[in-house]
Amino acid sequence: MKFAYKNKNKQFRGMDTKMAKTGNKIMNYSLRTLFAAAVTAFMVVFTATSTDAASRLKDIIEFEGVRENMLVGYGLVVGLNNTGDTLKDGHFTKQSLQSMLNRMGVKPTNDGLDSKNVAAVMVTASLPAFARQGARVDVTVSALGDSKSLLGGTLLVTPLLGADGEVYAVAQGQLAVGGFAAEGNAETVVKGVPTSGRIANGAIVEREVSFTLTGMTNVKLNLRNPDFTTARRIAQAINAFLGTNAARPSDLTTVQLRVPASYTENVVGLLTDIEQLRVEPDQLARVIIDEQSGVIVMGENVRISTVAIAQGSLTIRITEAAQVSQPGPFAEVGTTTTVDRTNVEVDEGEERQLTVLNPGVTLQELVNGLNALGIGPRDMITILQAVKASGALQAQIQVM
């Protein structure tokens, strides 16, 4: 019995040891799982943050050769409700109308050309990249003479020319005008711009711009906002995706891309793949100022060195208030007269205080410091220019 009891104790002790080892394994596995989950969550947050700050390549670059072309033409709009050009004053409108009628076999006299339903217009359009014959594009029609409104007008056949003088499209159709004008003897009402309109799909492409992507061995990527750092990041992102040093920046605007062997005769596939890559663009510290409207736009990289700013102005206000002086009731002498009363107020801006900005302050701190002085946008423009002149503004000022 004693021997059996000892064996039983050994068996229990063996079971305890196994259970302890199993518990340690479960605990170690749980810790590893929690650690892996924490690392995964950190990577997800970090990746999401980086992705949010990055932009797609297609949003910050343009592929050389893939571009629009500007077209322009001169034509006539007819069918207006007595709101067209004055033919006796608009000589070019009269000549254009007479020339058009002559081509159609009508030979009117000068006295017969007295219509208020015709207007001379300029027609503009953008020819998209790779537009083929028969494709349609939108056109914009704008009055050239003294027409008051193009509402209800119809554009006659108008050739659209490119920069080389060749005809690339022909426009015609009913105008869609967003504004209107109405007038009477005593009042005039104008909404929007009635002398400009659009024709959706109003032009047909007649000539194609010759450009082929297939067979290209090198492609140039042009940055919309030139920057050396951004150009290098674009090249690094493309090389990491392709697994080869196919891209290299040639300057702050252009990235040269050599078409890899795997994309031979498939340049469209290459551009489709790389335009979805994400890159965080860099930018210069720049302050944009529009003095006419008082608009100020500052980038997040704008920094200010140690500088003290004080803003005060001297304002003198003179008010004239004439008063009437007259004699008392039943007075035998005296006349009613006007007496000048002048009130002069002087504001020296004494409540304005001196503000000290510490080195390396951020954009938000700069704005808060200037707002603490009660400074408006136009005064802030002057202060920023003065800070730049002192050498304390570590940014570029661009006046629009």
- Amino acid 171: pLDDT: 97
pLDDT > 60? residue 6: no
Torsions phi, psi for 11 (to 5 deg): -65, -40
- Amino acid 61: pLDDT: 92
Task: Please provide the average confidence, as pLDDT, over all residues in the chain.
Answer: 78
Q: Are 130 and 211 in contact (CB under 8 A)?
A: yes
Query: Which of the given ranges, 13-17, 21-25, 182-186, 190-194, has the highest pLDDT on average?
Result: 190-194
- Amino acid 311: pLDDT: 63
- Amino acid 44: pLDDT: 42
Work out the burial of residue 366: count CB atoms within 10 Å of its CB; fewer than 13 is exposed, 13-18 middle, 19 or more buried. Answer: buried
Work out the burial of residue 209: count CB atoms within 10 Å of its CB; fewer than 13 is exposed, 13-18 middle, 19 or more buried. Answer: middle
Per-residue pLDDT of 233-285, as tens digits, reads 999 999 999 999 999 999 999 999 999 999 988 899 999 999 999 999 888 88
What's the whole-number mean pLDDT along residues 155-161? 96
What's the whole-number mean pLDDT along residues 341-352? 59
- Amino acid 77: pLDDT: 95
- Amino acid 351: pLDDT: 55
- Amino acid 397: pLDDT: 84
- Amino acid 305: pLDDT: 75
pTM above threshold 0.75: no
| Nearest Cα to Cα of residue 215 among 270, 273, 264, 268 | 264
Going by their DSSP bridges, the two strands 342-347 and 303-304 should be labelled as unpaired
Residues 6+ apart with CB under 8 A from 315: 346, 347, 349
Going by their DSSP bridges, the two strands 136-143 and 196-205 should be labelled as antiparallel
